[in-house]
Chains A and B, each alone.
Chain A
C-alpha cells in the first residue's frame, strides 16, 4: 500500500472532526471500536464527513468496508486513480 502522507493527514483530520476527538488520538492504524467515540453512531458521522469532504457515496459497501484509517486511505487512493 502506497499512501501519501498528505492523504493520511487529511483522513486523520476528517476523523478527528467527525468523532470530535483530538487529532493525536487518530493513529495511522486506528480501527472502528478502538476509540469509544468510534462506535456505530460515530462510524456514521465518519461516513457522512468522508462523503462531504471526499465526494464519495455512502452505501452498504462503504459503511462496512471503511472501518479503519488504512482501509479509508486505501479506498480513497484507489478512487483517485480511477477517477
Chain B
C-alpha cells in the first residue's frame, strides 16, 4: 500500500476531526484509508497506487477544498449532555467482532453487508421488543414501508443536496430483449466482485434503496391536511447508507435495520412526545445497565451543506444522539437519536394542520444492529454475565 501525507492549512479544529475524517473516504477513489492526526495538522492517506506529483496535487487540492468548506468560519457548536450514564460498569474490554465471526454469529458477505447468527438475531429481537413496548405506550399506529423509495421523493426533501455521498441506487436491465440476452450470457464478476456490465445495459434510475424509515410516512401524508391534526406511528425496516471505506464491523453497515417512533402534529405535540420517549428509554437503558450518554448532535451532512446545517441543528437542539460506550476502543457509538425536524417536512411536502399551517415532525430512531453491537461490546458474549433482564429474555 502507498502512503500520501498532506498538511492541512489551516489545521482541522479538534471538534471537527471526526466529521472531516468521515468525508475523506469520498475525496478520491484511490483512497483506501484516511487518518487525521490528533492535532488536526496531518492527513495520512493509504492509496491504491504509487503516488506521483500529479496524483498528489489532485488529492491535495480536493482535500483542502473539503477542509476549507467544512471548517471555515468561527462558529463552534456547543455540545449539551442531557443524560450521562457513561460510568456504568462494563464487563468486557475486547472487541466482540473477532469472536462473533469465529463463532459464525456474523458472516460478512461484503463491506458493510453482514448476516446475523442466532445469538445476535435474538439480541436484536430483544431490543426490538423493547422498542415495540415503547411504541405501545404511545398507542403508535403500525406501518410497513417498502425498501425502495422513488428518486423524486428524495429530491423533494433536498436529500440529494444534504447526503449525496451515502445514496444507494436501484436499477434494472433495460426492457430490451437483446440487452437482456446479452446480460444473461455475459454477466460475471471480476476478482473485486464488480459486475462486468456497462451502464448502458441498465435502465434510468427512478428508485433508490431507502435511507430512512420515517420519510415513507411523510410522503404518504403529503399534499393534504393531516386528519385529526396529529398522529404517532411506528415502523421498522431496512435502511441503506453507503459509507465507503468507513464500512467496518457492525459499527457502520451499508444495510442496517432502523426502528422508529414517528410524531406528526403541532410543535408542542412533537416536542413533548420526543421528550417522553427519551425519558421512557432512559429507564429501559437503566434496566440493562447500558453505559451511554445522550447529547446534542448533527446529521452527517455532506461537505457543502455541513457547516450551516450542522450549526443550525446544534443551536436549535434538533437532534439528541444516544452514544453507547465502546470500552474496547475507549470511544462511543451512536445507537439512536431523538429528532425534531421543525416544519421542514410539513413545508416541503405540504402536510398541513387544520389551520392550514405546516405540520411539525419528529422521530425517535434506533439502529438495531448497533444496539446489539454496543451491548456485546460492553458485556461480551457469555450470556451468564449479561444483565438479568436480558438473560430472562434468553430463557437463562
Question: Which residue numbers of A lie inside 8 Å of B, CB to CB?
Answer: 33, 36, 39-41, 43-45, 47-48, 51, 57-60, 63-64
Residues of A within 8 A of B77 (CB): 60
With CB as the reference atom, state the residue of chain B lying closest to A36: B347
How many residues of B are counted as interface, with CB atoms below 8 angstroms from the partner's CB atoms? 20
Interface of A is mostly: helix
Complex A-B: 9 CB contacts under 8 Å? A33-B343, A40-B312, A41-B308, A44-B308, A44-B309, A45-B308, A47-B75, A57-B74, A63-B316
Asked if B27 CB lies within 8 Å of chain A CBs, one says no
- Residue contact A41 to B309, C-beta cutoff 8 Å: yes
- Residue contact A44 to B74, C-beta cutoff 8 Å: no
Cα of A48 to Cα of B73 in the assembled complex, Å? 8
Cα of A61 to Cα of B348 in the assembled complex, Å? 27
Contacts of B315-338 to chain A: CB distance below 8 A:
315-316
Residues of A within 8 A of B285 (CB): none
A-B contact count (CB 8 A): 46
Asked if B78 CB lies within 8 Å of chain A CBs, one says yes
Cα of A21 to Cα of B390 in the assembled complex, Å? 57
**Given A59-B75, A59-B78, A60-B78, do A44 and B343 touch, yes or no (CB 8 Å)?**
no
Interface centre among A39, A44, A59, A63 (most CB of B within 10 A): A44
Residues of B within 8 A of A43 (CB): 312
- The 4 tightest CB contacts between A and B, nearest first, are A63-B315, A44-B308, A40-B312, A60-B315
- Residue contact A63 to B312, C-beta cutoff 8 Å: yes
Question: Which residue numbers of B lie inside 8 Å of A, CB to CB?
Answer: 73-78, 305, 307-309, 311-316, 342-344, 347
- Given contacts A59-B76, A60-B78, 19 further A-B pairs with CB under 8 A are A33-B343, A36-B347, A40-B308, A40-B309, A40-B313, A40-B344, A41-B305, A41-B308, A41-B309, A44-B311, A44-B312, A47-B75, A47-B311, A57-B74, A58-B73, A60-B314, A63-B75, A63-B311, A63-B315
Residues of B within 8 A of A41 (CB): 305, 308-309, 312
- Residue contact A58 to B312, C-beta cutoff 8 Å: no
Residues of A within 8 A of B76 (CB): 59
With CB as the reference atom, state the residue of chain A lying closest to B73: A48
Residues of A within 8 A of B311 (CB): 44, 47, 58, 63
Residues of B within 8 A of A48 (CB): 73
Residues of A within 8 A of B314 (CB): 60
CB distance from B357 to the nearest CB of A (A): 10
With CB as the reference atom, state the residue of chain A lying closest to B76: A59
- Residue contact A64 to B308, C-beta cutoff 8 Å: no
Residues of B within 8 A of A51 (CB): 74
- Residue contact A58 to B308, C-beta cutoff 8 Å: no
- Residue contact B75 to A64, C-beta cutoff 8 Å: no
CB distance from A43 to the nearest CB of B (A): 6
Cα of A20 to Cα of B309 in the assembled complex, Å? 18
Residues of A within 8 A of B347 (CB): 33, 36, 39
With CB as the reference atom, state the residue of chain B lying closest to A42: B308
Residues of B within 8 A of A60 (CB): 77-78, 314-315
Cα of A64 to Cα of B316 in the assembled complex, Å? 6
Residues of B within 8 A of A58 (CB): 73-75, 311
Residues of A within 8 A of B312 (CB): 40-41, 43-44, 63
Cα of A36 to Cα of B350 in the assembled complex, Å? 13
Residues of B within 8 A of A33 (CB): 342-343, 347
Residues of B within 8 A of A59 (CB): 75-76, 78
Cα of A40 to Cα of B344 in the assembled complex, Å? 9
Residues of A within 8 A of B305 (CB): 41
With CB as the reference atom, state the residue of chain B lying closest to A63: B315
With CB as the reference atom, state the residue of chain A lying closest to B161: A41
Residues of B within 8 A of A40 (CB): 308-309, 312-313, 342, 344
Interface centre among A40, A43, A58, A64 (most CB of B within 10 A): A40
CB distance from A38 to the nearest CB of B (A): 11
Contact among A36, A57, A64 for B315, CB-based, below 8 A: A64
Residues of B within 8 A of A39 (CB): 344, 347
Cα of A44 to Cα of B310 in the assembled complex, Å? 10
With CB as the reference atom, state the residue of chain B lying closest to A64: B315
CB distance from B322 to the nearest CB of A (A): 21
CB distance from B295 to the nearest CB of A (A): 14
Cα of A57 to Cα of B78 in the assembled complex, Å? 14
